[in-house]
Amino acid sequence: MWLRPTLRCSQKEAVASATMTATGDNFFNAFAIYLNATAVQMGWLMAIPQLFGALFQILSAWLGNYLPRKPLVVATAVFQALVVFSLAVLALTRSASSVPWLIGLCVLYFSCINFIQPQWRAWMGSIVPQRRRGAFFASRTRLTMMASLAIFVSGGALLSLSERVGVVWLGFALLFAAAGAGRVVSARLLAQMHDPDPVPHLSGRKGFWQSLLQMRASLKDRTFREYSFFVAGMQGVVAISAPFFAVYMLRDLQFTYLEYSLNAIASILTQFLTLSFWGRFSDRFGNRLVMLFSSIVIPVVPLLWLFSPDHWYLIGVQMLSGFVWSGYSLSTANYLYDIRPHKSDFAVYAAMQSALSAVAVFVGALLGGLIATAAPHIVQALPFLSDMRSPLYIVFVASFLLRVAVSVWFIPRAAEPRLRRRPKVLQVIYRVTRFSAISGIALDWLSVTRRGSGKGADAADDGEEP
């Protein structure tokens, strides 16, 4: 009786929450630029929220052992709506301390997203029947992407229009107010959904310290350790330049907000459309090959931004970037499944990898801010750089060199996983949780294998518990 109404609520919730998440990774930077954030502050805007977000994901997984998940999800969603409405108020007030306030609100925003994720995954894992998960999450992802792209284009058009009449602050306020309203509707729909497993299982309860010890022990496996350092290292060196593509487009090239939005959409849409291609390719030729290809091409992407400021050329660069990042995201997610020890707790390995990546992004974004600050002085000190179109080219080149270093370190260490039984393509459901025009699609996963059914590999790792 409760299943169909709950699934319908979940599909509607996907559209409502998309009005908020479409603003998160891509308009926060634009807002910071409007507020005249310094290069160092742009680095902080990426570094600090990501680090706190990872910590709150671990905290959420631990609290889920003791507290019912539905109230945790709904309460956090309501609080997040208040955070987004606060961003609208910040746009209206435009105080002298707006940038520090923006950074603080972004910390709360991403902490809420990461706090909800483990609980939501466990909740949906207990609701959606195994036989319907593939179709359900594919449909939900399509709804999320369509709504997100519509909001993205509308937001860019709104900001461009408000810029034309000299009230950009009002455009940002309306954008964040709409995002907050979407989260309110999302929280209401979440509250209407049924939770068939409302009480935490005492038998599966683990202490916080025990969870940390398990995460630390996972690094004793050499293949997993080298893989984790590669993924974290690549995310870290990408974070050096990631905040500054928006600065380059909006401040240096004087793109309109609509042009900026279309540039980002080119990458995001390409990532989404090519996921199925990469899935088939990796099934046939292996995830290791896709990872190696991606690790060779990803370092080249920031260099391509140096050759032309033309809007359509940069859209082409973004499409190439989206194609490569799509393969990288899917292959690294699959590779983690393949290399972890048999019958081990997948959540522990995924949490360890996420924690390392968060620390690397924190360090990389701070380093990028320092490099961007020093870039004008470097250009002045070196006469042969005087014709450089933007000092930010120094940041892009630094990111390129460090990406190459990470790839060169990892390629000879990329072990071919031992052949082992694993779920088929239709038994592993990858769900797009977040997306960024620069750093790729973030994937979460659920498996349709039954717990204890013996079908597929490691049936216990079905994503039904955080």
Number of structural domains in the chain: 1
The pLDDT profile of the chain, 466 residues, written as one tens digit per residue, is 788 888 888 888 988 888 888 876 678 999 999 999 999 999 999 889 888 988 888 788 778 778 888 999 999 999 999 999 999 999 999 887 899 999 999 999 999 998 888 888 778 877 877 677 667 777 777 788 888 888 888 999 999 999 999 999 999 999 999 999 999 999 999 999 988 877 776 655 666 666 667 667 777 778 888 888 999 999 999 999 988 999 999 999 999 999 998 998 888 888 888 888 888 888 788 888 888 899 999 999 999 999 999 999 999 999 999 899 988 888 887 787 777 665 555 566 777 777 888 899 999 999 999 999 999 988 888 877 777 889 999 999 999 999 999 999 988 887 766 544 444 443 444 445 555 544 545 555 454 444 444 333 333 333 333 3
The predicted model scores a pTM of 0.84
Tell whether 135 is covered by a domain: yes
Tell whether 59 is covered by a domain: yes
Tell whether 270 is covered by a domain: yes
Domain with 345 in it: 3-196+219-447
Tell whether 452 is covered by a domain: no
Tell whether 214 is covered by a domain: no
3-state secondary structure the chain: CCHHHHHHHHHHHHHHHHHHHHHHHHHHHHHHHHCCCCHHHHHHHHHHHHHHHHHHHHHHHHHCCCCCHHHHHHHHHHHHHHHHHHHHHHHHHCCCCHHHHHHHHHHHHHHHHHHHHHHHHHHHHHHCCHHHHHHHHHHHHHHHHHHHHHHHHHHHHHHHHHHHCCCHHHHHHHHHHHHHHHHHHHHHHHHHCCCCCCCCCHHHCCCHHHHHHHHHHHCCCHHHHHHHHHHHHHHHHHHHHHHHHHHHHHHHCCCCHHHHHHHHHHHHHHHHHHHHHHHHHHHHHCHHHHHHHHHHHHHHHHHHCCCCCCHHHHHHHHHHHHHHHHHHHHHHHHHHHHHCCCCCCHHHHHHHHHHHHHHHHHHHHHHHHHHHHHHHHHHHHCHHHCCCCCCCHHHHHHHHHHHHHHHHHHHHHCCCCCCCCCCCHHHEEEEEEEEECCCEEEEEEEECCCCCCCCCCCCCCCCCCC
**What CATH number does residue 411 fall under?**
1.20.1250.20
Tell whether 410 is covered by a domain: yes
Tell whether 238 is covered by a domain: yes
Tell whether 212 is covered by a domain: no
Mean of the per-residue pLDDT values of the chain: 82
